Amino acid sequence: MQPTTAGWGSGLLGVIIFSGSLPATRVAVEGFTPLFLTSIRAVIAALLGAALLFLLRQSRPERTDLASLAVVALGVVVGFPLLTAFALQHITSAHSFVFIGLLPLATAIFGVLRGGERPGPVFWLFSCMGSLLVVGYALAQGGSGSWAGDLLMIAAILVCGLGYAEGAALSRKLGGWQVISWALVLSLPGMAVVALATSPESVTGIALPAWFSLGYVSVFSMLVGFVFWYRGLALGGIAGVGQLQLLQPFFGLMLAGLLLHEPVSLTMIGVTVLVVCCVAGAKRFA
């Protein structure tokens, strides 16, 4: 299998895993505060990542890599989870998908700035068309919004795009799972202090769905998804593979249809087909 093809396949698996992140976060913040949720999910994932690094005897990153790892940690370990957790106290997970439609553009832009990639004009045309389709569809579905929630989501998209691009560039040197694992380990001391300081006084009133959601965002959203995602970005290109994020809202809606028996409309299927065409076009000209 060609590296580019393998990269797109790995990136797609990452997107499928990430598609459950925002709904799970929305459920989790009903039982935990945003600060505790952000910190404890990072602590859990960091312990798992540290165990992997130790068991597989990975060498420590060089000092020159620490700045990039710090950017990854601030972007995807702290920034995006914390900002979305605060945002989802003001808006619904459905409304948050409006902003996920902008994440591929943010990732592509930071891929140019931090990864040195230079996609052609036709790529940007497909990227913008796909983003507009996702945003337009999400807006058409309604969902409550607020200025506070919207601004928090915009900030989350920017830091996430930066973290994705920085981590992908570093993955070419260290490897995908090693990057997210070291970024988690780097953030562990601070996150552990925050988790202890913000831990709930009692856990007896926290519902079971909140615990399951915490487990999902800790293991899958925070670690497993990044193993596939960073590998995909490194092999297939940051700007190109990043366009797969356009499918994330639709994967989320399909999961809702399969698991929660929510209706899947013909409109959603039609827009998904158009978005797939935009992703294919972006792949062709990336």
Q: What is the pLDDT of residues 211-243, one digit of tens each?
A: 999 999 999 999 999 889 988 988 888 777 878
Give DSSP secondary structure letters for 59-107: PPPPGGGHHHHHHHIIIIIIIHHHHHHHHTTTS-HHHHHHHHTTHHHHH
Instruction: Give me the phi and psi of 171, to 5 degrees please.
Output: -65, -25
SS3 state at 20: coil
Confidence at 32, pLDDT banded by 50, 70, 90: very high
DSSP string, 219-278: IIIIIIHHHHHHHHHHHH-HHHHHGGGGGHHHHHHHHHHHHS-----HHHHHHHHHHHHH
Q: Is the pLDDT of residue 103 over 90?
A: no
Token pair belonging to 214: 């915490």
**Per-residue model confidence (pLDDT) at position 171:** 86
| Cα Rg of the chain, angstroms | 18
10 Å CB burial of residue 192 (0-12, 13-18, 19+) is middle
Buried b (16+ CB within 10 A) or exposed e, 265-277: eeebeebbeebee
pTM of the shown model: 0.82
Q: Average the pLDDT over 162-178 and give the result.
A: 87
Mean pLDDT of 189-198: 96
pLDDT band, residue 4 (cuts 50/70/90): confident
pLDDT of 43 strictly over 90:
yes
d(C-alpha 127, C-alpha 135), whole Å: 12
Would you give the distance in Å from CA 52 to the centre of its chain? 21
Assess contact for 81 and 217: CB atoms under 8 A. yes
Mean pLDDT throughout 170-174?
87
pLDDT at 141 over 70: no
State the DSSP code for 58: P
pLDDT number for residue 262: 52
